[in-house]
Structure 1
Amino acid sequence: MRAAAVDGALAGAVGSVALNVVSYLDMVVRARPESSTPQASAGRLAEVAGIDLGPQEAAANRRSGLGPVLGYGLGIAAGAVFALFVGDRRPPRPVEVAILGGGVMTLSDGSMTALGVTRPRSWTRSDWLADLVPHLAYGLAASVSWRRLRRR
């Protein structure tokens, strides 16, 4: 069971890389700026936890580093939880992609909504696509990695 969780965490890390690559490619293609939600989430989470990130410039730098780290942590943890959830079962690939990608998207968007960083009800169709496509890339990359690691 522990080996499966480690494999799941590794698959989640690969998925997180895929999510970021697709997000950065979207920035290139659409010439859009980087999202501020990871940094805002990190700042809000620190605030809720009562953690002082320091003076203004230092706090901004810490939020810039913490945002992506929190994203990777979420992606890695989601892969480990997925591994524990599926065990030795082999769901069809589309189901794995939906569970992994949809799960990470739900956790990410849900936590940002709970922290008051974003309001998905106000998102446009383009906003939803910009969020959905990288999370599907996460799900696909994590699923492929998971199966590769669990080959017997």
Structure 2
Amino acid sequence: MTSLLTGLLRGTAAGAAGTTALNLTTQADMALRARPASGAPTELVSAVADRVDVDVPGSRRERGRRLEGLGGLAGSATGVAVGGLAGVLRSAGVRLPAVVGGPLLGLAAMAASDLPMARLGLTDPRRWANADWAADAVPHLVYGVTTHATLSSTFRADDRERAERPHAGPRPATTGSVLRAAALDAATGARSTAGPAALAWRAQRGDRGASGTAANGSVRTLVSVLALGEVAGDMHPAIPPRTSPSALVPRLALAAGSASTAARRDGREPGPGALVAAGTALGAAVGGMRLRGWAQQRLGTDLPGALAEDALTAVLGWVGAGRSA
């Protein structure tokens, strides 16, 4: 396995390449649409300086130029930092397919840029027009694709050596294995025991890791009883809301554990599946509550919403617990 320091250095270089691609895309958009440069980075640096009580010296014009330069540096630092984190994760064994890794890196860089501005009240993404979203999302997608491609090329020799020595460790994750992990995590987000139950029912004797243990009839029965008990007791007033910390933390942990169990069963690296677990499970938990709330408002009862959620959870769990070819 590549050292974390090597991964960090490779990641920062990939992040620098991605940042260059992002800047080129933004400048091309400015030239084509004759739009002005965004003042958001300058506003962000100015707001942060005011918040931490740091005085930027110079006259009004000099201060504005310094803030503009610092804003550009902050944007470049964000791109390099996101790339560095991606390099560390890859050196730790998290290898995402290009179709997943590129957009995910773009989304991470976009969040790292936009969330601080939203928290400081400098912008409200909920009020952005479609053109505003496109002007922000497209350059960040280009950043993600470029950073992922550059990072993959720097690890190509390591990956080739790993492929020539299959005994050295598990195989890299594929698009299919990550999508199955996402389905399994979504099922666990809706029903915390859905992921373990689906894995238990699709387990076979001789499987690697916990999946082999789950193939035992008594273990499968126990997990199934727990899953049915969760469905039956979901409406009880003593049960805390699924988005409360006491319910959400175990749910996310079970989602990550289920994804890792499926990956080890199939001889795949567990990192990518566990990485998508938190976001997917959280989205499913919130989405399920909204579905039932919508049914309650429209129909006067959330029973149809609960039944629809249970059916969708069962399908997602069964598909997510499927095996790699």
Amino acid at match of 1:99: L
1:115 aligns with 2:112: no
Q: Which residue of 2 aligns with 1:31?
A: 34
Deviation of residue 90 (structure 1)?
Answer: 2.5
Structure with larger RCO (C-alpha < 8 A, sep 6+): 1
Matches within 5 A, 1:53-132: 53-54=56-57, 55-86=59-90, 87-132=92-137
Unaligned runs of 5+ in 1: none
Task: Give yes or no for the alignment of 1:137 onto 2:145.
Answer: no
Q: Amino acid of the residue matched to residue 96 of structure 2?
A: P
TM-score norm. by structure 1 comes to: 0.95
Comparing 60-69 with 109-118, which one deviates more in the overlay?
109-118
1:54-99: CA deviation from partner (whole Å, max 9, x where unpaired): 2312210111100110001011111111122233332110111122
Q: Which runs of 4+ in 1 moved over 4 A?
A: none
Larger mean Cα displacement after TM superposition, 21-30 or 107-116 = 107-116
**Structure 2 length-normalised TM:** 0.46
Deviation, structure 1 residue 41: 0.8
- Which has the greater radius of gyration? 2
Distance 2:71 2:146 in 1: 21
Gaps (5+ residues) in structure 2? 158-325
Identify the residue that residue 192 of structure 2 maps to in structure 1: none
Q: CA deviation at 1:151?
A: 1.7
1:16-55 to structure 2, matched below 5 A, reads 16-54=19-57, 55=59
Instruction: Provide the alpha-carbon RMSD of the alignment.
Output: 1.1
Identity of aligned residues (%): 34
| Equivalent pairs, count | 152
Whole-angstrom CA distance in 2 between matches of 1:18 and 1:110: 22
Aligned to 2:16: 13
Amino acid at match of 1:78: V
What amino acid does structure 2 have at the position aligned with 1:133?
V
Give, as a single letter, the amino acid of the residue that structure 1 aligns with 2:73: V
CA distance in 1, matches of 2:135, 2:99: 20
Say yes or no: does 1:3 pair with 2:6: yes
How far apart in 1 are the matches of 2:109 and 2:25?
15
